[in-house]
């Protein structure tokens, strides 16, 4: 199994989720993160003082998937997340050794 | 003789001015600091209000407003002992208890304004001690000079609702404390932006509404003077806000909420001393002047001189208040829609009186608050540890967090 | 002659009505939008208040309330020039400065109400320009017709505190703007829920309390009329809230805070025109009627017609206000606990007058605000870019974020 | 005859007291609970206010204040039918509509205070039913006994603004409900800390300001009595706050915002019954007494007896109110700056009357609220499911979340 | 070493922490996440409009452990997190190549 | 490639980012987390009741890097994060099998 981590533009989240549902991904976990990279943050100005926001609000997806569909998932996320603008984000693939569904105790791919 | 109408208005005005500090000013300031310091700011405003209230009863009121000489009042009304329940405040149609309370709310907000200078880094014990001494040694004397029949009053200075007594004293002291305390860690490049501009706007609105009590209440009657004071107050605030919006729009292309509400406060501070003497047209001019001057002073203090008067108390209140005191000499001219000069007075004559008032208040506030700060430094120390400053004052000094989500 | 008691109440009422907008309405609306647009809503309300205030002094007040003909007033009191400090407002016991300010607070809140229609997507420059033109071309004439001695007043229309002048004009205009602007991205299925219902409730409570100044202040005296206006206002609000709670409880099994406070506003808007003419029993009926009708109109506009009048300004204020204007003709009947009809008047007669008032106000607001919107569209454009709408107006238009945690 | 000045003040006072509940108390309580229960608390306060308002018109007012015998009033003023628009409230210079509304705001806040006992776990339907029955069976009779010409009034009990009628009834009932409902899941070790102390402070400030209307309004005139009531109210609050700060500073080294504002409420509750009868010196003593006693009672109830009166309604309001009622007998002594005892009265005599008042109110509230709670338990059930309690009431009972960031 | 990621029902957090302490886990890292899966979110209704919350509030645990106790940890988390209701969550096991305690610079298992 | 996860004291974030920029790290992802470990949380006191905060606010960094600089990155983070006080945090190193830059679709090390 693979553990796929994607860092994306917040407003692409729904599109990605639908794309993933399309290829049979049943679940995922989402969190709010701040990204640092080529894309620079907005400048805020308070009483004449500029505050350059070093970080850009991003959304992080964590998706555990069976090896079989791993590449398809990476593809799907990439396609749905892409706007072509700097800051579109990254997709990372890690190896996943084990998984368990808490409710049933099922192990491995059945747990996903 | 007590008049019910005037009393009704002054009781209401008292509630409005208290509302300016609790929670108005507390929220206005609280929104401008880091989330980890929000409670410390609220606590400082709240505790100062309580401390001043008790001190006011214990003698401050008497020293400021009871007879006495040109420099200070006497102790005849300590604890209001000897003041019968139904006593009438001298020269008014109000119960003395109402006059006592109305003036107390001014004594509360003035030291609370200074909080803006030392947020995020001053010890709570130092805040308490400094505020108490400052009330007795700076606020009380100046209030007596201007409103208590002291030497400036005798000279004919015009300060309707506190350009000198409230805003200039607070502003100058803010500058002194900011310099003695030193800047916040990371100032100027690495300080965090206001954590809740929405809260600053909410508090600013409460300040604006409460200011009707502050300025229109200072008429001490519910009549044409109060009505016109309310009018010029509102017009000056609105004008200064628009000025600030326009400047930011031109400079940055983005008019901001924090800027707009700061402009309103600048306009309110500027009109305060003039509010009982000028007309609506003058209010527009004073609003434009106050808004513009304060805008640029913020930059001068913070960026040119790199003084971390953190929430711009001097630039907004000190400068705004002084501007208003000076312009009062111009716009009280009947020809300009004002109440006119006193018997045999003139614009130039009044102007020099007003400038003497500014000079005296500035000098006294500067010297005395410097001395008090040094004393406090010796007794409690002024500043928290770097570690406390990093972690935030809320958890370290008050054992709480503003947001436990 | 100026009466201190009445003046005391009207100064207070003025503060209360200003408090309705700043911060009441701002927070009420702010809680209903996305966190990324909170500041833009606060800014719109705040800046509109300032712009209207200056325009009111510059001539709007004079055009609405100074003499003139059946359609519009004259320019005799521009800048209040020629109005002595102690002038008494015609037909009252109040300083004219107080009447001027009291009426100003109505002129402030009315365009601010319209904000609810275009939140989260209208350009700030367009908001400013539209509001200014709208004040002069819609609010001022209608205010003159109804309260300034214009043709509707002559005809005997009854609108105590602004069912026509405030709520109907704002409601109709909201609908026009919502249609011209088009819906928010993702409307209706993908818009985000209110980001802070607690804030909406806090703002709603301030609106409720301030409304005492709005309706009871409209008596222009501190007496039985003000007392009864306050009573019916409160009863109608409470009743409409309970109605809304009951409906939601029956429909969804979950009465909501946003629903309850919306019900209160519906009840307040509905009683506003009637508040000086009816008794407590009528207030219950008007509260039930207003609450029910507004509840269903929200669904009709938003879901049936799919018009994104985002915060339901038309459904709540427009419909509520009109309902109240119509029911005034019924419940002012002395037999029903009202003040009774004027000499030789009758329920049917009054009803047709009220309906003419509704029709005229509706038509004028519709046509003129459509024209203004088109002009503004040509000058500044109405809507922000899709990218700005996605990211939120706060950062893009105002360079700030409401929450920097 | 109606006096405009007094009426102006009482209309304002009514607005201030309503402001205490909406949004003051709602925010004060809301900040002390979990974020997932914030809306449920706001909803309870808001809905109770509406329910009580309608019930007050429907008969509660008449039963409390219209003639009748020593135990209860009559139904002569149901729906205010038969009360002409310009009726003067008996024994006052106010329109009856104003007196009706002023008293209504007291009837609103009293059951709302009880909310603090059952937050985070009581069914909404149970809250509504309990509050309605409690208004009619506890509040109305006690109000009649003390203020409506009932037996305690005849006996000469002194309760200026509601130590018995408001604070003791609410406090005792809170204790009864807390015991019958049982503690929150995880109490005492695993309950979550206040989710927004800043909100509690903001609400507490609104309570403080509104309390001027509560106590000074109870004079029913705008004169020296109102002025002194305002003064002692403020002094007691400030003193009790300082007491609380000092205790926490000594015990924990960290004076807290929640502690400071709780101290203020304790001082306000304690001075309430005395506020029309005592002088400023007494206010200091009452503030110290109230602050200290309430501080320790919080510990006794919560930690010694492990009763989850969640927001300390009994410890702060019940105990504070009773303390004030008792001390009134001491400090109304003219020799101590009070108004003096009635013809032929004495401190000991007054003391026993006051104690009878406390005993009777305590007993009645205890027994009747126990019975009501049992009835409500049978009809709707008192407590939500464990799952609802875990997830929070907002989503489960009201279909909303306070924060949608 | 293993890097164990668990997504759980928020109210089970304390129980799990105690269970882990029981088997000698000294530390862990917690974050708030939103989960998407079989369990559907609450519906919120504002002014008659329904908002189905796609996401359910969850808590994510990250626990770095020595291989020796990895299985025991998965067991313990599963047992303590289980309520039997849909939405109980997942436990994922990844391989952990290296660890360092910042304070001391200790490497590997000693760092945990 | 390696996927480096660091849990640090919030106020060290800027120092670390600068240190990383120094050795050529172009991007990273930051999130707020709560840590449980040897360091105990602050005690809060409300109305005389003590609440011991079990968790300490921490910041989590996720940094995908090329194998070549992995050790240097761990070093740099450690050095910049270290204050010597308990609670300085941890650095974890996981193997990273794949990476994609969403904007361009670039794969592997080029995506970082
Ligand atoms: N080496 C990295 N490790 C972890 N996250 C990264 C890394 N580089 C970039 N990111 C994340 O990806 C986001 C987008 O990267 P950025 O360089 O801004 O744009 P792009 O990916 O289009 O070149 C960043 O905001 C950050 O959250
Ligand atoms: N494939 C997955 N990858 C990552 N997280 C997942 C995955 N599937 C489920 N989750 C997480 O586990 C949580 C519970 O899953 P869910 O399907 O709702 O219930 P259950 O695990 O009981 O079948 C989800 O809310 C989500 O946070
Ligand atoms: N086994 C672990 N797995 C994941 N995170 C851990 C682990 N142990 C500690 N942490 C994280 O590291 C932080 C610091 O650890 P702690 O034991 O408090 O101090 P130190 O690392 O200096 O010994 C903790 O707050 C927690 O976030």
The Cα E77–Cα E4 span in angstroms is 10
Radius of gyration from C-alpha coordinates of chain F: 17
Which ligand 1 atom lies nearest to the CA of residue A33?
Answer: 27
Nearest of B208, B211, B30 to residue B116 by alpha carbon: B30
Q: Probe ligand 3: pick from E29, E74, E105, max atoms within 8 Å of CB?
A: E29
Token couple for F99: 């990476």
The Cα D27–Cα D204 span in angstroms is 8
Taking CB atoms and an 8 Å limit, are B400 and F44 in contact across chains?
yes
**Chain F contact present for A40, CB below 8 A:** no
The Cα F112–Cα F107 span in angstroms is 9
Measured by CA distance, the residue closest to atom 24 of ligand 1 is: A35
Taking CB atoms and an 8 Å limit, are C50 and B241 in contact across chains?
yes
Ligand located closest to A41 CA = 1
Helices (H), D88-162: 96-118, 124-134, 140-147, 151-155
ipTM of the complex: 0.96
Q: What is the pLDDT of residues D237-275, one digit of tens each?
A: 999 999 999 999 999 999 999 999 999 999 999 999 999
On chain A, the residues whose CB falls within 8 A of the CB of E95 are: 95, 97
Q: What is the pLDDT of residues B226-277, one digit of tens each?
A: 999 999 999 999 999 999 999 999 999 999 999 999 999 999 999 999 999 9
With bands split at pLDDT 50, 70 and 90, how would you rate the model's confidence at C67? Answer: confident
Closest Cα in chain B to F58: B391
**How crowded is residue C60: how many other Cβ atoms within 10 Å of its Cβ?**
24
Among A46, A51, A53, most B C-beta atoms within 10 A, so best to mutate, is: A46
**Chain E contact present for F33, CB below 8 A:** yes
Q: Is the shortest distance between the CB of A9 and ligand 1 below 6 Å?
A: no
Nearest of B310, B293, B53 to residue B191 by alpha carbon: B310
Q: Is the shortest distance between the CB of E39 and ligand 2 below 6 Å?
A: yes
Element containing residue F57 per DSSP (H, E): strand F56-65
Q: What is the pLDDT of residues E50-73, one digit of tens each?
A: 888 889 999 999 999 999 999 999
Q: What is the pLDDT of residues D86-107, one digit of tens each?
A: 999 999 999 999 999 999 999 9
Those residues with Cβ within 8 angstroms of residue C287's Cβ, 6 or more apart along the chain or in another chain: C235, C236, C237, C238, C239, C240, C243, C267, C270, C271
Do residues A76 and A20 lie in contact, with contact meaning Cβ atoms separated by under 8 Å? Answer: yes
Instruction: Tabulate helix, strand, coil % of chain C (nearest 5).
Output: 70, 0, 25
F96 CA to centre of ligand 2 in angstroms: 23
CA distance C176 to chain A (A): 29
C106 CA to centre of ligand 2 in angstroms: 54
The Cα C298–Cα C302 span in angstroms is 6
With bands split at pLDDT 50, 70 and 90, how would you rate the model's confidence at F107? Answer: very high
On chain B, the residues whose CB falls within 8 A of the CB of A55 are: none
A89 CA to centre of ligand 2 in angstroms: 23
**Chain F contact present for E72, CB below 8 A:** no
Residue A31 is nearest to which of E8, E31, E77, comparing CB atoms?
E31
Taking CB atoms and an 8 Å limit, are B262 and A47 in contact across chains?
yes
The answer to whether residue F54 scores a pLDDT higher than 90 is no
Those residues with Cβ within 8 angstroms of residue B67's Cβ, 6 or more apart along the chain or in another chain: B73, B74, B76, B149
SS3 of chain B: the string is CCCHHHHHHHHHHHHHHHHHHHHHHHHHHHCCCCHHHHHHHHHHHHHHHHHHHHHHHHHHHHHHHCCCCCCCCCCCCHHHCCCCCCCECCCCCCEHHHHHHHHHHHHHHHHHHHHHHHCCCECHHHHHHHHHHHHHHHHHHHHHHHHCCCHHHHHCCCCCCCHHHHHHHHHHHHHHHHHHHCCCCCCCCCCCCCCCHHHHHHHHHHHHHHHHHHHHHCCCCCCHHHHHHHHHHHHHHHHHHHHHHHHHHHHHCCCCHHHHHHHHHHHHHHHHHHCCCCCHHHHHHHHHHHHHHHHHHHHHHHHHCCCCCCCCHHHHHHHHHHHHHHHHHHHCCHHHCCCCCCCCCCHHHHHHHHHHHHHHHHHHHHHHHHHHHHHHHHHCCCECCHHHHHHCHHHHHHCCCCCCC
Strands E56-65 and E2-8, bridge-based pairing: antiparallel
Which ligand 2 atom lies nearest to the CA of residue E86?
Answer: 22
| Ranges of chain D whose pLDDT falls below 70 | none
On chain F, the residues whose CB falls within 8 A of the CB of D298 are: 47-48
Question: Is residue E96 helix, strand or coil?
Answer: coil
The Cα D289–Cα D324 span in angstroms is 9
Give just the sign of the alpha carbon dihedral C2, C3, C4, C8.
negative
Do residues F3 and F89 lie in contact, with contact meaning Cβ atoms separated by under 8 Å? Answer: no
Question: Is residue C282 helix, strand or coil?
Answer: helix
Ligand located closest to E84 CA = 2
Which range scores top for mean pLDDT: A46-50, B60-64, B190-194? B60-64
Do residues B329 and B350 lie in contact, with contact meaning Cβ atoms separated by under 8 Å? Answer: yes
**Chain D contact present for F38, CB below 8 A:** no
- Region B162-182: mean pLDDT is 98
On chain D, the residues whose CB falls within 8 A of the CB of C6 are: 4, 8
Residues 44..63 of E with a Cβ closer than 8 Å to D: which? 44-46
Nearest of D212, D215, D19, D191 to residue D109 by alpha carbon: D19
On chain D, the residues whose CB falls within 8 A of the CB of B98 are: 226-227, 230
pLDDT of residue A50: 85
Q: What is the pLDDT of residues F95-106, one digit of tens each?
A: 999 999 999 999
Closest Cα in chain B to F45: B399
With bands split at pLDDT 50, 70 and 90, how would you rate the model's confidence at E42? Answer: confident
Those residues with Cβ within 8 angstroms of residue B242's Cβ, 6 or more apart along the chain or in another chain: B263, B291, C47, C50, C51, C54
Do residues C349 and C157 lie in contact, with contact meaning Cβ atoms separated by under 8 Å? Answer: no
On chain F, the residues whose CB falls within 8 A of the CB of A11 are: none
The Cα B116–Cα B41 span in angstroms is 9
Q: What is the pLDDT of residues C307-348, one digit of tens each?
A: 999 999 999 999 999 999 999 999 999 999 999 999 999 999
CA distance C105 to chain B (A): 11
**b/e burial code for range C80-99 (CB count within 10 A of at least 16 → b):** beebebebbbeebbbbbbbb
Q: Is the shortest distance between the CB of A34 and ligand 2 below 6 Å?
A: no
On chain B, the residues whose CB falls within 8 A of the CB of D194 are: 400, 404
Q: Is the shortest distance between the CB of E17 and ligand 2 below 6 Å?
A: no
Mean predicted lDDT score pLDDT of chain B: 97
Ligand located closest to E78 CA = 2
Ligand located closest to A24 CA = 2
Ligand located closest to A110 CA = 2
Taking CB atoms and an 8 Å limit, are A46 and B298 in contact across chains?
no
DSSP lists the bridge partners of residue A3 as A64, A94
Q: Is the shortest distance between the CB of A28 and ligand 2 below 6 Å?
A: yes
The Cα D285–Cα D295 span in angstroms is 15
Q: Is the shortest distance between the CB of A56 and ligand 1 below 6 Å?
A: yes
Closest Cα in chain D to B88: D224
Which ligand 1 atom lies nearest to the CA of residue A56?
Answer: 25
| Cα separation values, D81 from C332, D43, D84, D100, Å | 15, 31, 8, 13
Those residues with Cβ within 8 angstroms of residue A2's Cβ, 6 or more apart along the chain or in another chain: A64, A65, A66, A67, A70, A73, A93, A94, A95, A96, F97
Nearest of E48, A73, B126 to residue D400 by alpha carbon: E48
**Chain A contact present for E38, CB below 8 A:** yes
In the Cβ-directed half-sphere of E110, how many Cα atoms lie within 13 Å?
Answer: 6
Closest Cα in chain E to D190: E14
Taking CB atoms and an 8 Å limit, are B202 and C403 in contact across chains?
no
Taking CB atoms and an 8 Å limit, are C237 and D54 in contact across chains?
no
A50 CA to centre of ligand 1 in angstroms: 24
A8 φ/ψ angles, rounded to the nearest 5 degrees: -135, 170
Ligand 3 first shell, C-beta below 6 A = E 26-29, 62-64, 101, 103, 112; F 7, 35-39, 56, 58, 86-90
The answer to whether residue A52 scores a pLDDT higher than 90 is no
Nearest of B230, B197, B235 to residue B211 by alpha carbon: B230
On chain F, the residues whose CB falls within 8 A of the CB of A59 are: none
With bands split at pLDDT 50, 70 and 90, how would you rate the model's confidence at B70? Answer: very high
Instruction: Show which subunits contact B, needing at least 3 CB pairs below 8 angstroms.
Output: A, C, D, F
Q: What is the pLDDT of residues B19-35, one digit of tens each?
A: 999 999 999 999 999 99
On chain D, the residues whose CB falls within 8 A of the CB of E42 are: 395, 399
The Cα B58–Cα C99 span in angstroms is 41
With bands split at pLDDT 50, 70 and 90, how would you rate the model's confidence at F51? Answer: confident
Taking CB atoms and an 8 Å limit, are E46 and C295 in contact across chains?
no
| Cα separation values, D155 from B155, B393, D352, F79, Å | 58, 53, 11, 79
Which ligand 3 atom lies nearest to the CA of residue E27?
Answer: 8
Residue D11 is nearest to which of C4, C227, C264, comparing CB atoms?
C227
Question: Is residue E107 helix, strand or coil?
Answer: strand
DSSP symbols for A38-105: SSPPPEEEETTEEEE---EEEEEEEEEE-HHHHHHHHHHHHHHH--SSTT-EEEEEEE--EEEETTT-
F27 CA to centre of ligand 1 in angstroms: 5
pLDDT of residue F42: 81
Q: What is the pLDDT of residues B361-379, one digit of tens each?
A: 999 999 999 999 999 999 9
Q: Is the shortest distance between the CB of E73 and ligand 2 below 6 Å?
A: no
Element containing residue F100 per DSSP (H, E): strand F98-101
């Amino acid at each position: 199994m693979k553990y796929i981590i994607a860092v994306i533009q917040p407003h692409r989240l729904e599109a990605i989720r639908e794309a993933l549902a399309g290829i049979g991904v049943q679940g995922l976990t989402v969190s709010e993160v701040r990204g640092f990279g080529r894309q620079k943050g907005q400048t805020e100005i308070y009483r004449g003082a500029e505050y350059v926001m070093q970080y850009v609000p991003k959304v992080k997806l964590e998706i555990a998937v069976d090896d079989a569909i791993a590449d398809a998932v990476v593809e799907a996320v990439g396609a749905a997340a892409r706007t072509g603008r700097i800051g579109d984000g990254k997709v990372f693939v890690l190896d996943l050794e084990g998984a368990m569904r808490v409710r049933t105790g099922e192990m491995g791919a059945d747990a996903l | 003789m007590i008049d019910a109408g005037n009393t009704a208005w002054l009781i209401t005005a008292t509630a409005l001015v208290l509302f300016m500090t609790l929670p108005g000013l507390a929220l206005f300031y609280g929104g401008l600091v880091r989330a980890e310091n929000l409670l410390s700011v609220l606590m400082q405003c709240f505790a100062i209000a309580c401390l001043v209230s008790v001190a006011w009863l214990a003698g401050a009121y008497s020293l400021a407003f009871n007879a006495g000489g040109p420099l200070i009042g006497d102790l005849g009304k300590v604890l209001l002992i000897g003041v019968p329940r139904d006593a009438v405040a001298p020269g008014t149609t109000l119960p003395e208890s109402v006059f006592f309370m109305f003036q107390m709310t001014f004594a509360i907000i003035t030291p609370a304004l200074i909080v803006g200078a030392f947020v995020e880094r001053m010890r709570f014990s130092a805040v308490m001690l400094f505020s108490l001494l400052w009330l007795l040694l700076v606020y009380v004397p100046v209030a007596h000079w201007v409103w208590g029949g002291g030497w400036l009053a005798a000279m004919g200075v015009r300060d309707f609702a506190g350009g000198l007594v409230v805003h200039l004293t607070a502003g100058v002291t803010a500058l002194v404390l900011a310099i003695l305390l030193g800047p916040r860690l990371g100032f100027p490049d690495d300080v965090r932006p206001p954590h809740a501009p929405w809260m600053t706007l909410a508090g600013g609105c409460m300040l604006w509404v409460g200011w009707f009590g502050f300025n229109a209440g200072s008429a001490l009657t519910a009549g044409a003077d109060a009505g016109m004071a309310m009018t010029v107050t509102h017009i000056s605030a609105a004008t200064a806000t628009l000025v600030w919006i326009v400047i930011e729009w031109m400079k940055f292309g983005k008019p901001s909420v924090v800027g707009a509400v700061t402009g309103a406060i600048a306009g309110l501070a500027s009109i305060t001393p003039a509010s009982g003497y000028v007309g609506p047209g003058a209010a527009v001019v004073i609003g434009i002047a106050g808004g513009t001057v304060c805008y640029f002073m913020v930059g001068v203090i913070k960026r040119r001189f790199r003084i971390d008067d953190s929430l711009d108390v001097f630039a907004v209140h000190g400068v705004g208040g002084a501007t208003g005191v000076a312009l009062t000499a111009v716009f009280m001219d009947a020809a300009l829609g004002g109440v006119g000069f006193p018997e045999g007075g003139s614009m130039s004559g009044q102007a020099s009186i007003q400038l003497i008032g500014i000079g005296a208040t500035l000098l006294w506030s500067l010297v005395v608050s410097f001395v008090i700060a040094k004393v406090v430094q010796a007794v409690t120390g002024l500043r928290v540890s770097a570690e406390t400053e990093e972690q935030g004052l809320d958890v370290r000094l008050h054992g709480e967090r503003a947001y436990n989500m």
